[in-house]
Amino acid sequence: MTSAAIASDQLERVERLAELISAAGSVVALTGAGISVPSGIPDFRTPGTGLWEHVDPMEVAHIDAFRRDPERFWSFYGDRFAMLERKRPNGAHRALVALERRGLLDAVVTQNIDRLHARAGTRELIEVHGSIETAVCLDCGERHPLGEVRARLAADPRGIPRCDCGKALKPGVVLFGELLPEGALRRAEALAMRADVLLCVGSSLEVWPVAGLPEVTRAAGGRTAVLTQGPTPEDIHAAVKLDGDVVAELEGLVAALDRLA
């Protein structure tokens, strides 16, 4: 898919975004669930298809739910992790890699836990909500890789992956009720502060504190661009708003930047 697949009313905005990036000294991408939808991973809030449409996140994705009933918790997360492990990066992930390799993108800050940016080849990646790559024992601190966690999950009669010490393992993702990793958040804020352009891709910008990063960029004199289907709180401030096919738009952006080079 190339810029030819972009709706005509969006093409001018893609060109405008390319001009902004071409003139910028620092560009950072902030990505959310919408960038992974073309890979077959549902987002969280889209009516009819969103992950939380049929499940109460406070019942299955809260740290208290994990502590109270790890069996129920893992009955949800076990299926989700199996699904995520099969998914592959799409053209939007690869377009960000292309920008990074051209020296046009400093880093990707992602809210996603699916590891698709890493699989696509992003080098400078800040996963502010953690990832599915490992699980941790909250008692002894041991970490275990995803493949081993899934094997332990399948072997346990109650469907709970357990550490060698016998306690339930918790996925290495930030659950509701938990703080974001301090180092990752500080790095994300520093990147946003020095960005001339912050690309907000596939995020509703409703989950804090990450939702505050666009304001950090603007307060430091930078510009924001929003490439997300549906409205976000940042739309009224953004220099460019795109809400079509995220793959077509990002691939079109790479092509437009190639023409400007």
CA atoms within 13 A on the CB side of 160: 18
Instruction: Note if 93 is an active site residue.
Output: no
Full DSSP string of 73-121: HHHHHHHHHHHHHH----HHHHHHHHHHHTT---EEEE---S-HHHHHT
The reply to whether 125 and 135 lie within a common domain is no
Q: What is the CATH number of the domain that holds 104?
A: 3.40.50.1220
Beta-sheet pairing, 130-137 with 125-127: unpaired
- Asked if pLDDT for residue 2 goes beyond 70, the answer is no
Task: For residue range 62-88, list pLDDT tens digits in order.
Answer: 899 899 999 988 888 887 777 777 889
SS3 for 253?
helix
Across the range 110-118, mean pLDDT stands at 93
The string of pLDDT tens digits covering residues 201-238 is: 999 998 888 999 999 999 999 999 999 999 999 999 99
What separation in angstroms does the CA of 97 have from each of 86, 103, 109, 155?
20, 10, 13, 38
Cis, bond preceding 233 (omega within 30 deg of 0): no
- How far apart, in whole angstroms, are the C-alpha atoms of residue 98 and residue 74? 36
Distance in angstroms (rounded) separating the CA atoms of residues 253 and 11: 9
List the catalytic residue out of 54, 62, 93, 129. 129
Nearest 10 degrees: Cα torsion 223, 227, 232, 236:
40
For the chain, give the percent of residues with pLDDT over 70.
Answer: 91
Same domain, 202 and 135: no
**pLDDT confidence of residue 58:** 65
pLDDT at 52 > cutoff 80: no
Among the candidates 173, 201, 233, a domain finishes at 173
**For position 45, what pLDDT does the model report?**
54
Tell me the average pLDDT of the chain: 89
Instruction: State which residues form the domain around 211.
Output: 1-41+89-129+180-261
Residue 77: give its domain's CATH number: 3.30.1600.10
- Is residue 3 scored above 80 in pLDDT? no
Per the structure, how many domains does the chain have?
A: 2
End residue of a domain, out of 173, 197, 227: 173
Q: Are residues 76 and 109 in the same domain?
A: no
144 and 242 fall within a common domain: no
Tell me: do 242 and 145 sit in the same domain.
no
Query: Does one domain contain both 196 and 247?
Result: yes
Tens of pLDDT, residue by residue over 9-42, are 788 899 999 999 999 999 999 999 999 999 988 7
